[in-house]
Amino acid sequence: MLEVGLKHSCELVVDKSNTAAAAGSGGLEVFGTPYMIALMEQTCKELAQKHLDDSQGTVGISISTNHKAATPLGMKVVCEAELVEVDRSRLVFKVRCYDDLDDIGEGEHQRFIIDNEKFLASVNAKIDKAKK
Q: Which residues are catalytically annotated?
A: 33, 41, 67
The dihedral region occupied by 20, where left means phi > 0, alpha psi between -120 and 50, and beta the remainder, is alpha
At 35, the amino acid letter reads Y
Q: Is 64 exposed, middle or buried (0-12, 13-18, 19+ CB in 10 A)?
A: exposed
Cα–Cα nearest to 48, from 82, 77, 79, 80: 82
What is the separation, in whole angstroms, between the first and last Cα of the chain?
Answer: 42
